[in-house]
Amino acid sequence: MTKAGRKRKTQEKLLVLVGNSSRRVVKTPRSVYAAIPGRNKFRPEQRTPIPNFTLAGDFTSQKFLGSMEGAVLSGKLAAEVVADSLAGRLPTQRAKPIHDSVM
Ligand SMILES: Cc1cc2nc3c(=O)[nH]c(=O)nc-3n(C[C@H](O)[C@H](O)[C@H](O)COP(=O)(O)OP(=O)(O)OC[C@H]3O[C@@H](n4cnc5c(N)ncnc54)[C@H](O)[C@@H]3O)c2cc1C
96 vs 28, higher pLDDT:
28
Q: Whose CA is nearest to atom 48 of ligand 1?
A: 57
What is the structure's pLDDT at 28? 84
Q: Whose CA is nearest to atom 28 of ligand 1?
A: 57
- For 17-45, how does the pLDDT look when each residue is reduced to its tens digit (9 = 90+)? 776 667 777 888 877 777 788 888 888 89
Give residue ranges with CB within 6 A of ligand 1.
28, 31-32, 57-58, 66-71
CA of 71 to the centre of ligand 1 (A): 8
> Long-range CB contacts (< 8 A, 24+ apart) of 75-83?
77/46, 78/46, 78/54, 80/46, 81/46, 81/47, 81/54, 82/54
CA of 70 to the centre of ligand 1 (A): 11
- For 38-84, how does the pLDDT look when each residue is reduced to its tens digit (9 = 90+)? 888 888 899 988 989 999 999 998 888 888 999 999 999 999 999 99
What are the Cα distances from residue 15, in Å, to 4, 10, 93?
Answer: 17, 9, 51
Q: Is 86 exposed, middle or buried (0-12, 13-18, 19+ CB in 10 A)?
A: exposed
Atom from ligand 1 closest to the CA of residue 60: 26
- Give this prediction's pTM: 0.76
18 vs 9, higher pLDDT:
9
